[in-house]
């Protein structure tokens, strides 16, 4: 272990680069005594390591540092966006293709929500894309019970407070009315827990289906439900400023541009 070697880096960053967890989560794992360096359990993230150090998680060697990678995933309804579920429910990670490396989700979609979820092998990128300061718009198609007027939706556009929690203004438009149900397009820049469902309930509407169709410049498009697709290095370079040869992220992401798909991988069926 070294603090002076120019090739050294903080242990939490090393764990993030190996796809173990984000830096913040990696620090929690370290404090829990699950990480050992050169056979010795560590209890502080204030440690620098080099490629010469042997690092294990729960007794198993962590993977080598990998190039930054990003995938689109079409999450079906009925899956939990966690690695493990205390209630024993199926998670998105139970249904991933076996050839997929260890990945983390960028944010979450709740159990009954579906649509676009980004996956990455890089903890630093995960945290960066989740930060509110990134300011990326998340767009959804929402089916709800009710016959809303423009006036009814206005509080959502101005910003609404639900149970003491303030939600930022949303972009809301009525797509079409189908009997007792309506399809809405909703866009927001933050992703608080069940934000859309809670906001609509506040104005007397209940959501029966919620589909995320985009996350910043990344689109769900025609990606089949349950399918996973890796984004090309060119897309990472153009949209995020990531250069695969150095794996560095520039301070400012490029402006959103149109995306093209590559290969669709379908999950194992159970």
**Catalytic (active-site) positions:** 110
Residues 6+ apart with CB under 8 A from 161: 167
Identify the burial level of 17 via C-beta atoms within 10 angstroms of its C-beta, where 0-12 means exposed, 13-18 middle and 19 or more buried.
Answer: buried
In whole angstroms, what is the distance from residue 44 CA to residue 11 CA? Answer: 9
In whole angstroms, what is the distance from residue 223 CA to residue 220 CA? Answer: 6
Can you tell me which residue has the tokens 């769900």? 220
In whole angstroms, what is the distance from residue 35 CA to residue 18 CA? Answer: 13
Closest CA to 132 of 159, 161, 168, 165: 168
List 62's β-bridge partners, or say none. Answer: none
Closest CA to 36 of 49, 23, 21, 17: 49
Structure tokens at 165: 């929690």
């Amino acid at each position: 272990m070294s603090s002076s070697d120019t090739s050294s880096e903080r242990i939490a960053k090393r764990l993030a680069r190996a796809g173990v967890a984000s830096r913040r989560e990696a620090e929690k794992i370290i404090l829990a005594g699950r990480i050992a360096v050169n056979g010795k359990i560590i209890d502080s993230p204030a440690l620098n390591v080099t490629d010469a150090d042997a690092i294990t998680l729960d007794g198993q060697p962590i993977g080598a540092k990998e190039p930054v990678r990003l995938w689109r995933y079409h999450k079906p309804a009925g899956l939990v966006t966690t690695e493990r579920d205390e209630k024993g429910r199926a998670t998105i990670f139970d249904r991933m293709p076996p050839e997929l490396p260890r990945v983390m989700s960028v944010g979450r979609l709740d159990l009954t929500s579906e649509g676009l979820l980004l996956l990455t092998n890089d903890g630093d990128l995960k945290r960066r894309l989740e930060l509110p300061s990134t300011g990326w718009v998340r767009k959804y198609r929402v089916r709800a019970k009710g016959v809303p007027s423009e006036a009814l939706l206005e509080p959502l556009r101005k910003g609404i407070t639900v149970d003491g929690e303030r939600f930022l203004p949303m972009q809301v438009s009525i797509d079409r009315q189908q009997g007792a149900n309506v399809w809405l397009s909703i866009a927001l820049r933050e992703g608080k827990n069940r934000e859309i469902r809670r906001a609509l309930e506040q104005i007397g509407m209940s959501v029966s289906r919620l589909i995320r169709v985009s996350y910043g410049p990344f689109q769900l498009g025609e990606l089949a439900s349950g399918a996973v697709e890796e984004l090309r290095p060119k897309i990472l370079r153009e949209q995020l400023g990531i250069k695969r040869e150095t794996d560095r992220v520039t301070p400012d992401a490029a402006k959103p541009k149109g995306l093209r798909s590559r290969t669709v991988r379908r999950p194992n069926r159970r």
